[in-house]
Amino acid sequence: MNELINNCYFELFSKQQQNQFNIGNSNSKERIRKLDALKTAIEKTYRLEIQDALLKDLGKPVVEAELTEIYAIIGDIKHAKKHLKQWMKNHKVGTPMSMLGSSSHITFQPKGVCLIISPWNFPFNLTFGPLVSAIAAGNTAIIKPSEMTPNSSALMAKIIEDVFDEDEVALVEGEVETSTELLKLPFNHIFFTGSPQVGKIVMTAAAKHLASVTLELGGKSPTIVDKTANIDKAAKKIMWAKFLNCGQICVAPDYVLIDESIKVEFIESCKKWLQTYYNNNPKKSDSYGRIVTDKHFERLNAYLENAKTLEAKFEVGGETNRTSKYIEPTIISDLKPEAKLLEEEIFGPILPIVTYNSLDMAIAYVNSKPRPLALYIYSKSKGNTNKIINNTRAGGTCINNSVLHYANHNLPFGGVNNSGIGKSHGFDGFRAFSNERSVLKQHTFGVTELLFPPYSSFKEKLAR
C-alpha cells in the first residue's frame, strides 16, 4: 500500500476510484451527453487544431487527418450513441429445466477505473476510440498517449481537460516512466494499443493486480495474391493500404505473398498506381506523409541497408531523406529469408514481395510466423479463399480489399496471440470495458432445493 501512496498518480487514481460508482450508475442519456460533448470538441472546437497537430507530428495530409482520425472518432461516437440504450439492457438468457422456478440474465456493469495507453500512428483515433467505449460502458479512465507525437498528445490533454472532470477522465502525458508508474496502480481494466513487446510488459504488470486487459498489438500482416486475382485491382488497393500514413498502420499489408507467375505484372500495376496516387513525385505530393521520429527513420533506413547488403532487388523507390524523415514508397523483391524486412514488423513504407509456387507453400509461410493482426486475400477463387481462411489464424481478414474491416463497427477488431488479446470497436468495445455480471433470480420454490442435505434419502434411492 505504501508503494501505491508514493506513486505520483495515486491521488488522481483514488479520486476516480471514489467516483466510479457515481459514473457507473449513469443512465444512457447521461453517457450520451458526455459522448456529445467529446464529439463537439473534436468536430467543432478543436478540428483545425487537430489537423495542425497531425501535420506537425506526422506530416499527415489534411484529408487523411479528416478521414482516419476525426471522421473515425465521430463515427465511433455516432455508432455508440445509436446503440447504447440497447447495449446497456439486461440480456436475458435461458434457464435449464432443472432450475425451474428461476430466471437468468446478464447485466453489463462498468469495469471501474480503467487505464488507456495509446500509440502514435493514429494518435487521436487510437486514444479517443477506446475512450468512447470506456465512457459508453460507464467507466472512469486515465489516458497515457504516446510521447512520439507531442503536439497531438498536448492537444488531447487540452480537449480532455475541457470536456471532463479529472475524477472521471484524465490524461497524463509522459514517456515510458509515466506508463511504468501508472501500471503499478490497481486498475480494473487496462486497454493497451502498441507493440507486442510492450504488450507483454503491460500484461505482466496487470497480472500483479489481476487487472483484465485488452491488448491491441501488431505484427506482420500478410497479403496473399493468388493467380486467379484481378491483378490491377489488387495492386490498386494494396498500394493505397500500404502507403497510407506512410505504412505506419497496424493493419497495413506488411508483405505480399504472390504466385510466381503473376509477380511481374503485379509490380508493373503497382508502379502505375503509385505514379497516379503521388503524381510521379511522392516527395512533393501533399497526399504522402513522413516518418514519425528520427529513431523510426533510422530503423527503416537500416532495413533498406540490410536489403541492399543481401542484394535484394529494389523494384520501386528506395530514396530517403534524413532531414525531412522522408522514405519513398518502396517495393523490394528477391529478399533472402534472413532479411530483417521479412522478420520484423515493418511499420513503414517498404513492401517486400515474396513469391510462392503453390498455395500450400504460401499457407506454410504464413504459419511459420506469429499469428498476424490481419491477413488479406486477393483471389477470385472461393476454394482458394476458404482454404487460406481455414488453414491460417489471424485477428481479421479482408477478401479482395485491405484495412477496411477495421472501419466496420459491427466487426470485432483485434488480434490473436502475438497480435493481441480481446476485441474492440462498437459493441465489442463496450463489452471489453464491461463486466458481464451473471444474475439468477429465484421466483418460486426451486426444484434444486430437493437436492439439499441430509442426503440419506438419496443414498437409499441410489442404492436401489
Q: How many other CB atoms sit within 10 Å of the CB of residue 188?
A: 20
* Helices then strands, each counted (H, E), the chain: 17, 18
Q: Compare residues 179 and 333 and give the one whose CB is closer to ligand NAD.
A: 179
Q: Is 250 a catalytic residue?
A: yes
Of the candidates 69, 114, 168, 250, the residue annotated as catalytic is: 250
Q: How far is CA 257 from the centre of its chain?
A: 23
- Residue written as grid cell 485491405: 402
Do 356 and 226 contact (CB within 8 A), yes or no?
A: no
The interface with ligand NAD within residues 386-415 (CB under 6 A) comprises: 415
The answer to whether 372 contacts ligand NAD (rule: CB under 6 A) is no
Which of 64, 76, 168, 216 touches ligand NAD (CB under 6 A)? 216
DSSP line for 3-53: HHHTSTTHHHHHHHHHHHHHHHT--HHHHHHHHHHHHHIIIIITHHHHHHH
Dist CA 90 CA 437 (whole Å):
10
Do 354 and 258 contact (CB within 8 A), yes or no?
A: yes
Dist CA 149 CA 341 (whole Å):
25
Choices 47-55, 162-170, 175-183, 322-330 (CB under 6 A): range interacting with ligand NAD: 175-183
Q: Compare residues 152 and 384 and give the one whose CB is closer to ligand NAD.
A: 152
Of the candidates 64, 69, 168, 216, the residue annotated as catalytic is: 216
Which of 16, 68, 121, 245 touches ligand NAD (CB under 6 A)? 121
Choices 114-122, 131-139, 280-288, 303-311 (CB under 6 A): range interacting with ligand NAD: 114-122
Which of 43, 147, 181, 232 touches ligand NAD (CB under 6 A)? 147
The answer to whether 119 contacts ligand NAD (rule: CB under 6 A) is yes
The interface with ligand NAD within residues 219-258 (CB under 6 A) comprises: 250
DSSP line for 414-461: ---BTTEES-BSHHHHHHHTEEEEEEEEE-S--GGGGGPSP-HHHHHH
The answer to whether 204 contacts ligand NAD (rule: CB under 6 A) is no
Q: Compare residues 68 and 121 and give the one whose CB is closer to ligand NAD.
A: 121
For residue 121, give Cα distances in angstroms to 147, 212, 348, 376: 11, 25, 11, 21
Order of strands across the sheet that contains 91-93: 91-93, 102-110, 434-442
Q: Compare residues 18 and 180 and give the one whose CB is closer to ligand NAD.
A: 180
Dist CA 64 CA 66 (whole Å):
5
Shortest-Cβ-distance residue relative to ligand NAD:
218
How many residues line the site for ligand NAD (CB under 6 A)? 26
Q: Compare residues 216 and 259 and give the one whose CB is closer to ligand NAD.
A: 216
Q: Is 436 a catalytic residue?
A: no
- Residue written as grid cell 523490394: 332
Q: Compare residues 195 and 381 and give the one whose CB is closer to ligand NAD.
A: 195
The answer to whether 346 contacts ligand NAD (rule: CB under 6 A) is no
Query: Which parts of this chain interact with ligand NAD (CB under 6 A)?
Result: 117-121, 126, 144, 146-147, 176, 179-180, 193-195, 198, 201, 216-218, 250, 345, 347, 373, 415, 420
Active-site residue set:
216, 250
